[in-house]
Each structure stands twice: as C-alpha cells, then as structure tokens.
C-alpha cells in the first residue's frame, strides 16, 4: 500500500511552512520543465574545508588497527556521508564486519561489487543531494553486475528482471519513457540526479545470495537511511518495495518525508500491484511541492527522451487533459498455466535466469505463499 503522503494533494499533504513548501510554477511547456541544463554531479566538487578538517581530525583519532580496517571507508566513502556515519564506523559491530570481510578476502573468496565500488552510491549521491531513496536488498552476485547501486548493472549486462519491471512502471506514469538502448541497466544518471540507490547489504559472495547477511551491513545502511531522514529536513521521498524494504523505513517521520510502499518489482510479485502503483509520478508531484519544478527527478535514461516526459504538476489543466486522453495501456496476453505450482515454478525460473531475485523468497516468503494461494489460470 502507498503512504497517504504519496497521494494527490490534500489539506494535510504538506506539513512544512509555506516558506519551506515552494510551489512549482505553472508549466505549459514540457521542454522548459525537463529541458533545463543539468548541473554536474556533486561528486565532482571538492570537499569543503570544514568537511576535510573534520575528516582529518577523525582519522587522527583512530587506532592503528582501526585505520587499517577502515582504509576503504577513508578513501572511498564520500565525506558528506563519512561525517554523519563516523561514529558507526568505529562501533564494535562495524569493525567486526570489516574483520569478517578481511577474512573473506584473505580466504580467496570472490566478493561483489568490486571493492572500490562498494560505496559508489555515496559518491554519485552525496548526502546533501539526496531527494529520493530507493531501498534495495542484496547486491547482484554474478560477474559484471553489482557496482554499488541498487538494481543497477554495468553494460553490457542486460537489465535484470526487476529493473525491467521498474522501467515498465515508469512507462505507465510517463508513456514517453524509453529504456536504455541494448537492454541497458545502468542507473548512474538517476543517482547523479539525487536518487540514492541503497542496498541493505553492500557486499555478497559470488553466486551466493545473502551470504553477507546479518554480518553488520544492515545496521550500517540503516544508519545511512536514518542520516537522510535526519539531515534532509526539507523532505525526501522513500521508495520501499517489498516487506523487507518497508521494514527499513518504518521509523521515518512521515510528517516530514514521503514514504511510498508497494510489492517488490521482482517477476515473482510485480503483478500484484507494482506496475500501477504510480510511484514515479507521485514522487515528482511531492518533490515539486517541496522544491519547485527544478526539484523533480528526470527519470529518463536516454538523451533523446529528456524533454518528452510530462510535467508532474497536477494543478496544471493541460496535464490533466493530457492524462485523460491517453489510451489505455495494452497488456500482452499471458501464457496459460495449468496449476499454481507450475505458475510459481515458471516465475522462479524467470528470476533465476539473472539470479537477482533470490532474496525476495528468502527475505519475503509471503511472496511465494501468495503465489501458491492464487487460483490456477485455465
């Protein structure tokens, strides 16, 4: 179910002051809405002297063992995040996680994503740029897949089933949306625009889903989510797909932030409400109210499409008319299935072809149970 904060505007939709809730200007030109020049990713900007000074002071306070264990965080975790998470980094739980990862490395185990990309989410989306948080679960665990952003894969790896369904959901909200060419699945443009693509666990053994679960990553990434909710006082949209993701945002202040929940986009569950949840347009409607037209997310992943997506300004009469004139989306005929068992088996096979959705069963067993309860299609 979606949080009421994600619905159309109502009397209680915004809880900030009028000065905080900057209204978007009426926009009759689609080009002017998404065609404005984009600023360069914040990771290209040098850290402020204050941040650098705080970081150096923190490094100086570390013991020799802590410095050795935390060298990756010192080198690759963006300063904006490190300053907020520095206390967690020296906690016994996180240091034990680092000792475990060091042991894995010395054993010769292959770990994904590559070490220098574990914190790529922090560099693509510095804390002060976060406007949307997408909560993932386990990194992909095959070669050339995981690179530190939830749901994203590097070319030439094709978009996995869950991401294909995310594309489909965007196209319902924005019919002009086109997936990247060559079945691409690289989501760095979203991350650079303020969409934090954060997995719950940040590492995994090759070909072993959830192999690094319950080792300490869950606590660390929860602290990252908490930092967003605490620091980004103007408001952030949290997209939580699936029960585990919903649990991660349970403590978010919904008077200050917008939380949108639905089933996971995995082929195992997406047919139960993901495609028509409207999350991508609701996200932009909410952001437009808080930040103005310049604050919305451009969901496009192709250069040609950037100016074709409709404005999310739900008060614009032209947009309302456009919405009513859109033809109903055609649905492809579904293959016949003879039993609930064969139906579940077929969906599992689809997910296993990419091996990215194993955690949906392991962390959200209600998905399989729901599938088995559904009547067979004749």
Task: Report the catalytic residues.
Answer: 138
Strands laid side by side in the 258-262 sheet: 195-198, 132-135, 237-241, 258-262
CB 325 within 8 A of CB 175: no
Taking the C-alpha atoms of residue 214 and residue 282, their distance in angstroms, rounded to an integer, is 33
φ and ψ of 356, to 5 deg: -105, -5
d(CA 265, CA 163): 7
Phi-psi region of 182 (alpha: psi -120 to 50; beta: other; left: phi over 0): left
- Measured CA to CA, the distance from residue 83 to residue 247 in angstroms comes to 25
- Burial (0-12, 13-18, 19+ Cβ within 10 Å), 59: middle
Q: Please, is 286 exposed, middle or buried when counting C-beta atoms within 10 Å of its C-beta (0-12, 13-18, 19+)?
A: buried
Alpha-carbon torsion (337, 338, 339, 341), positive or negative? negative
């Amino acid at each position: 179910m979606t949080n009421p904060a994600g619905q159309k505007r109502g009397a209680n939709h915004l809880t900030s002051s009028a000065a905080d809730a900057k209204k978007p200007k009426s926009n009759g030109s689609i080009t002017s809405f998404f065609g404005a020049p984009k600023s360069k990713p914040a990771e290209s900007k040098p850290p402020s002297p204050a941040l650098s000074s705080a970081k150096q002071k923190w490094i100086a306070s570390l013991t020799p063992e802590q410095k050795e264990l935390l060298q990756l965080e010192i080198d690759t975790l963006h300063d904006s995040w490190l300053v907020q998470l520095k206390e967690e980094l020296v906690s016994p739980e996180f240091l034990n996680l680092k000792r475990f990862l060091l042991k894995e490395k010395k054993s010769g185990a292959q770990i994904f994503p590559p070490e220098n990309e574990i914190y790529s989410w922090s560099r693509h989306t510095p804390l002060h740029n976060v406007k949307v948080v997408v909560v993932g679960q386990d990194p992909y665990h095959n070669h050339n897949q995981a690179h530190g952003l939830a749901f994203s894969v590097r070319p030439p790896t094709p978009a996995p089933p869950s991401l294909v369904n995310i594309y489909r959901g965007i196209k319902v909200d924005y019919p002009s949306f086109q997936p990247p060419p060559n079945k691409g699945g690289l989501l760095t443009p979203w991350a650079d625009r303020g969409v934090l693509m954060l997995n719950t666990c940040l590492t995994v053994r090759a070909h072993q889903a959830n192999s690094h679960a319950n080792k300490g990553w869950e606590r660390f990434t929860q602290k990252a989510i908490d930092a967003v909710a605490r620091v980004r006082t103007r408001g952030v949209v949290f997209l939580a797909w699936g029960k585990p993701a919903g649990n991660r945002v349970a403590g978010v202040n919904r008077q200050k932030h917008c939380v949108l929940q639905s089933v996971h986009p995995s082929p195992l569950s997406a047919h139960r409400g993901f495609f028509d949840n409207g999350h991508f347009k609701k996200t932009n409607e909410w952001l437009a109210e808080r930040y103005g037209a310049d604050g919305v997310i451009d969901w496009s992943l192709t250069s040609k499409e950037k100016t074709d997506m409709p404005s999310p300004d739900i008060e614009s009469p032209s947009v309302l008319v456009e919405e009513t004139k859109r033809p109903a989306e055609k649905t492809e005929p579904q293959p016949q299935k003879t039993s609930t068992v064969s139906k579940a088996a077929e969906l599992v096979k689809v997910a296993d072809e990419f091996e990215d959705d194993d955690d949906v069963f392991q962390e959200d067993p209600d998905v399989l149970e729901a599938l088995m309860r559904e009547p067979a299609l004749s």
